[in-house]
Amino acid sequence: MNEPMKKALVIAATSSLGAAICAVLARRNYSLFLTGRDVTELEIIAADLRIRHNANVLIGKFDLAYVTFSAGNFLEDVEEKFGSFDAAFLLAGDMGTAAHDEKNIEQVVKVNYLQPLKLLELLAEKMAAGRGGSVAVISSIAGDRGRQSNYVYGSAKAGLAASASGLRNKFSRRGVHIMTVKPGFIDTPMTYGMQSPLIYSREKAAETIVKALRRKKDVVYVPFFWRYIMLIIILIPEKIFKRMKL
């Protein structure tokens, strides 16, 4: 087995799943660079990681969702403060509102597809130009088949998954591994209020994601059984599917 990765960039570390991933990485003795839009929350997470795990943690404000940004300038700033890194975790999620107006659609597509894609490609290029590395991209099971309840979010995540697949193919020969993560129902604010036995703890999800990236998995469903649930949903004939309320 390869030597364990030692330095990781976590984008959207203040998200519930992002914070859980940070804790898993800290326990594995990674040095961490955490980004998010709320500096105060980043400082709280970083302080906790330093106290609990004696982790080396740096933080940087970065608003993937709402601010027009230069991905190149952002990554240069990270490297200037943190140096090169072996792993990156790209988390971004905004389900939008029930009203699919133009502003909402643009926001959901921007946050879940356009901005992550720009950042993902530059991450891969920088890693390929250096020592290589691995990137985990958080997509969603919602991208496996369009459903009436969240087709805007689902289509954006489907686009991100397709882009990650293409970039995985493009950069695999250059020492960069890109893993697509498709979470099901995880214990995060997105599932708040849902009553379902399928909801998975964020801590277990984070462990699964970190282990899968170390093993260089290409696509991982979290938890694993969603692969089979979505396969069933995908195989439902369209004539029947369009009559269902999913």
What percent of the chain is modeled with pLDDT above 70? 91
pLDDT digits (tens, 9 = 90+) for 7-37: 999 999 999 999 999 999 999 999 999 999 8
- pLDDT for 174 equals 96
Mean of the per-residue pLDDT values of the chain: 90
**Domain residue limits, the chain:** 7-241
Cα distances from 207 to residues 17, 59, 168, in angstroms, run 10, 22, 22
Q: How far apart are CA 101 and CA 115, in angstroms?
A: 20
Mean pLDDT, to the nearest integer, of 174-202?
Answer: 83
Q: How many CB atoms lie within 10 A of CB 101?
A: 10
Model confidence at 216, pLDDT cuts 50, 70, 90, reads very high
Would the pLDDT of 191 be above 70?
no
Query: What's this model's pTM, rounded to 2 decimal places?
Result: 0.91
Gap between the terminal Cα atoms of the chain: 42
pLDDT digits (tens, 9 = 90+) for 57-67: 999 988 776 55
Q: How far apart are CA 4 and CA 96, in angstroms?
A: 37
Model confidence at 2, pLDDT cuts 50, 70, 90, reads very low
pLDDT digits (tens, 9 = 90+) for 53-91: 999 999 998 877 655 557 778 888 899 999 999 999 999
Q: What is the CATH number of domain 7-241?
A: 3.40.50.720
